[in-house]
Amino acid sequence: ATPTSIMVGSGRAAELGVLFRRGDALQSLRDIGIVAFDKTGTLTSGAPAVTDFEPASGLDANEVLALVAAVEARSEHPIATAIVEAARERNLVLQPVDGFEAVPGRGVAGSVGGRTVLVGSQRWLEEHGIDTSDLAARAGALGEAARTPLLAAIDGRVAALIGVADPIKPSAAAAIAALKASGLEVAMITGDNRRTAEAIAKTLGIDRVEAEILPDGKAEAVKRLAAGGRKVAFVGDGINDAPALASADAGIAIGTGTDIAIESADVVLMSGDPLGVARAIGLSKATMRNIG
């Protein structure tokens, strides 16, 4: 590829809202065999809402939600924002929190008015020795319905099941269909619950799912996908997507995402539209073909 032809490709790319940050990105995109997407904020809006709140039997829903939201008010996770919003809608008063702790990919903990509160994945509660069997079956059902199930515990006992749903972006299914139509394999890498991730992948026609991946495990997940010998593009938006963006054969950042993701990527899609991925790959093929 000559510098001039790459600039031509990049000019067309700019019109399509695709920014090539590295000179060799057109080549690496052309050779991609697998496109792996982050889920939250990339295929989904990244702004989830609480859809379900079921207290354990005998507990008052508002009382439990107030305790849970008090702890989540200290977290910046989108799930935390959704839970705090749900408490605000019910006009609940959130008390101060002591000993707040957040573990990425797991959940949060804190003490509210002398009561110990945990919120997060089923695994997060089980790691604290909490028996989740009362609500586990319903958590599974929420996952099947493409909602993220969270559990809360108060003073060592499971206290609520919370369902959170993050709407799929309108063009996500079309983007995946376009990639598959051009012979690419499509995968999803997410920290979310396995059932939830698989339900969303099924809706979108995604063949391979790496779920319950801890934030520092996404780059490794990209390597697992690459082990079959095909070149992998990773598409993501978050802080914890940066290592995977840097280690993929082509890193594609969503322009509405975090600065760290953008700085780690080879290609940036100026809008949050996942269709940009198919456009960028199509453009790289056309440009590289023209210049031989």
237 binds, among ligand ADP, Mg ion, none (CB under 5 to 8 A by kind): Mg ion
Stretch binding ligand ADP (CB under 6 A), from 11-19, 56-64, 74-82, 225-233? 74-82
Give the separation between CA 97 and CA 115, rounded to whole angstroms: 10
Return the number of other C-beta atoms located less than 10 Å from residue 167's C-beta.
12
Instruction: Tell which positions 138-167 bind ligand ADP, by CB under 6 A.
Output: 148, 150
Could you list the active site residues?
38
Alpha-helical (H) ranges within 128-231 are 133-144, 172-181, 194-204, 218-226
Closest CB 105 distance from ligand ADP, rounded Å: 4
Give the separation between CA 156 and CA 7, rounded to whole angstroms: 61
Closest CB 76 distance from Mg ion, rounded Å: 13
CB 73 within 8 A of CB 104: no
**Counting contacts by CB under 5 A, is residue 148 touching Mg ion?**
no
111 binds, among ligand ADP, Mg ion, none (CB under 5 to 8 A by kind): none
Stretch binding ligand ADP (CB under 6 A), from 99-107, 109-117, 228-236, 273-281? 99-107
Interface characters, 168-207, with ligand ADP (x: CB under 6 A): ----------------------xxxx--------------
Closest CB 2 distance from ligand ADP, rounded Å: 40
**Counting contacts by CB under 6 A, is residue 132 touching ligand ADP?**
no
**Counting contacts by CB under 5 A, is residue 38 touching Mg ion?**
yes
**Counting contacts by CB under 5 A, is residue 238 touching Mg ion?**
yes
Q: Which of 108, 110, 42 is nearest to 77 (CA)?
A: 108
Phi/psi for 200 (5° steps) reads: -70, -40
Structure tokens at 189: 């890498």
**Counting contacts by CB under 6 A, is residue 257 touching ligand ADP?**
no
Q: Which of 240, 259, 262 is nearest to 251 (CA)?
A: 262
CB 210 within 8 A of CB 244: no
What's 168's DSSP letter? B
Phi/psi for 193 (5° steps) reads: -45, 140
**Counting contacts by CB under 6 A, is residue 80 touching ligand ADP?**
yes
Interacting residue ranges for Mg ion, rule: CB under 5 A: 38, 40-41, 237-238
